[in-house]
Amino acid sequence: MAMRRVLALSRRRVLPLLADAILPADCLACGRPLRVEHRLGACLECWARLRPLLPPLCLSCGLPAPRDSDLLGPAGGRCAACVLDPPPHGGARAAVAYDDDARRFLLAAKLSGRRRLLEPLGEQLAAAVRASGLAEGCTLVVPVPAHPWRRLARGYDPAGDLARVAASRLGLPLGTRFLARRILAAPAAKRLPAVRRAKAAAAAFRALRPTRGERVLLVDDVMTTGSTAAACAIALVRAGAVEVRVAVWARTLPGSPAGPRGRRPDRRL
């Protein structure tokens, strides 16, 4: 009887203490105290503030169509920028816009050690890919490899976690050993057109094994200028891939401070 009382007491007292120790106490985005049911680090209001990227989107770069673009016309669903300067991949899709709210989620997942957060973010990425049909015909999911030093410092690879969740939800094999990032690589000149910049940046990545005949779904956490994804796509195609498509969790939008026009890649990540 006494033992039963001790057990009941420990369940009431110890479990909440354990939960408090394991679970974050404040919302990672707004800082308000979390109730225990908000197990993934953010309050429901902050989750709801993430902005999904919904059609009409350019089939090539995945950006929302500018008002003056003609996605149904002869451009074949591509925006004017992609017609003039086509990216070396077969299409890109993002789950959400990379704004201040999305940035807080990603920083928490990448810099504050809240690795579990990558699971729902990966689910969002997989849902966006499924809704767009981007993965149709794909045979392999490959994450953009982290810089070896960052991976060492962090102990995990956020894009790798997102790719694992996406591969599992989409029912595709995951290939974590197809691409590597060179430790020392010269930065690509920023004034070059996208394709030439990507070709120069492609030197930063090398294929570790052939991708002959594969149609690759390349996964990354965030896309700013798109040059990293383009560089990986070029490296994978050189290794034999038929096509590379790009899925990211968040995408900077034109006109935003960190967007493609502003060209301010996020160096803290």
Cα 121 from Cα 141, distance rounded (Å) = 16
Minimum CB–partner distance for residue 27 and Zn ion (Å): 3
Which residues neighbour 236 within 8 Å (Cβ) at sequence distance 6 or greater?
Answer: 142, 178, 179, 207, 211, 214, 216, 218, 244
Q: What angle separates helix 118-132 from helix 100-111, to the nearest 10 degrees?
A: 130
Among 50, 53, 57, 79, binds Zn ion (CB under 5 A): 79
Among 49, 50, 57, 60, binds Zn ion (CB under 5 A): 60
Helix (H) or strand (E) holding 205: strand 205-207
Part of the chain binding Zn ion (CB under 5 A), chosen from 37-45, 109-117, 181-189, 213-221: 37-45
Nearer to Zn ion by C-beta: 60 or 132? Answer: 60
Minimum CB–partner distance for residue 30 and Zn ion (Å): 3
Among 57, 58, 201, 229, binds Zn ion (CB under 5 A): 58
Part of the chain binding Zn ion (CB under 5 A), chosen from 24-32, 200-208, 238-246, 251-259: 24-32
Site string for Zn ion, 85-104 (x = CB under 5 A): --------------------
Nearer to Zn ion by C-beta: 53 or 58? Answer: 58
| Interface with Zn ion, residue 46, by CB under 5 A | yes
The four Cα atoms 21, 155, 153, 186 give a dihedral, to 10 degrees, of: -140
Rounded (to 5) percent helix, strand, coil in the chain:
40, 15, 45
Interface with Zn ion (CB under 5 A): 27, 29-30, 43, 46, 58, 60-61, 79, 82
